[in-house]
Amino acid sequence: MIRSIPQAAATRRRLAQTTLAAIVAFFTVNSAAQERKGGYGPYPIIPGPYTHAPDSAEIDGVLRGKISEHQLLESQVFPETKRRFSVYIPAQYDGSKPAALMVFQDGHAYSGPGGDFRATTVFDNLIARGEMPVTIAVFVDPGTSDAFGEKRGWQPRPTNRSVEYDSVSDAYARFVIDELLPAVTEQTGVKLTQNPELRAICGMSSGGICAFTVAWFRPDSFRKVVSHIGSFVDIRGGHVIPALVRKSDPKPLRVFLQEGANDLDNQHGNWPLGNLQMANSLAYRNYDHRFVYGDGEHNGQHGGTIFPDTLRWLWRDWQGQTP
């Protein structure tokens, strides 16, 4: 039916009024959300300050694992690089059967009893209570072509970190599976499980996106991921990963993401936006995942204080798995 000119004009006025009302409502709602820092969609911001819980400190009567220091001086995957790594062996490991495995990128930032994460102390406490399996932890630093510093850390800056961590390929997964883990077993004698459900990988910043890409390309070897303030941005193409998750058949992964609303925003991208994209993509594909969104910056403070709860969530059904 052809409307008369007055009818068409009235219809346009109603549409314009409706559109204007929607725009006003949109900016009113979003302005209020910004004032109260309500987060994004289903992800409320958990405000700081962030403080460590008892499981991040030594507890009387809990057996302590041992940690040893090692070097890997050659690599076929990343030629002309070398790196340091340490291996944590829990007190409950007796070698009678393979242990679960968790690999940490930027390992020096996770391993110590102090700092943000205090991973070995958390492992001691949770393993003692059966809240996670008997787990060997490997804390590996990025590769470098320069001489090692006097001690592990950020100085001198490892020359190959971005190539290894930020690239969207299976190269780092091949390094971990084919070079690092054989070196671990050769140098320590531990038995590592081959069950991917009992193998986890973790990292922060570029190490966070690296942890995810290892599991993404090799779910036959790793199926549990922890990413703290992950760099899902365009340093070396990582901004495409949320789209890959959406457009690919789901993989059997369990993924924990932690991010802060005041994280980086630079020429590579916006870190909070990248992590929100990841969380929404994982939700869209019905992945077993959890996203914790705080108001922190580009550091390990929030991720470190919730690390015990992160591991409880990650390993919540480990008893049903065969090493």
Q: Which has more confidence, 32 or 4?
A: 4
- 66: pLDDT strictly greater than 90: yes
Given a contact cutoff of 8 angstroms between Cβ atoms, the answer to whether 135 and 90 are in contact is yes
Would the CA dihedral through 222, 220, 128, 65 be positive or negative? negative
Are 225 and 202 spatial neighbours (Cβ–Cβ below 8 Å)?
Answer: yes
What is the structure's pLDDT at 113? 83
**Rg of the Cα atoms in the chain:** 23
Distance CA 240, CA 278 (A): 10
Burial of 126 (0-12, 13-18, 19+ CB in 10 A): buried
Superfamily of domain 54-320: Alpha/Beta hydrolase fold, catalytic domain (3.40.50.1820)
Give the residue carrying structure tokens 């007190």.
Answer: 91
Indicate if the pLDDT at residue 135 is higher than 70. yes
Which pLDDT band, with edges at 50, 70 and 90, does 1 fall under? very low
> For residues 237 and 203, what is the distance between their CA atoms, to the nearest angstrom?
18
Residue 49 has pLDDT above 60, yes or no: yes
Of all residues in the chain, the percent with pLDDT exceeding 90 is 86
Residue 36's pLDDT is 36
pLDDT digits (tens, 9 = 90+) for 265-280: 999 999 999 999 999 9
Identify the band that residue 20 occupies on the pLDDT scale cut at 50, 70 and 90: very low
User: HSE (CB half, 13 Å, CA atoms) of 210?
Assistant: 28
* pLDDT tens figures, 201-259: 999 999 999 999 999 999 999 999 999 999 999 999 999 999 999 999 999 999 999 99
Query: 100-112 pLDDT, tens per residue?
Result: 999 999 999 999 8
Q: What pLDDT score was predicted for residue 38?
A: 59
pLDDT, residue 112, reads 80
What per-residue confidence (pLDDT) applies to 34? 35
pLDDT at 251: 98
- Say if residue 197's pLDDT is above 90: yes
In terms of DSSP bridges, do strands 83-89 and 66-72 run parallel, antiparallel, or are they unpaired?
antiparallel
Which pLDDT score, from 0 to 100, does residue 8 have? 45
Lowest mean pLDDT, pick from 35-49, 182-196, 209-223: 35-49
For residue 321, give the nearest of 97, 133, 93 by alpha carbon: 133
User: Residue 33 above 80 pLDDT?
Assistant: no
Average pLDDT, the chain: 90
In this prediction, residue 130 carries a pLDDT of 98
Position 18 scores a pLDDT of: 40
Place of tokens 């973790």: 202
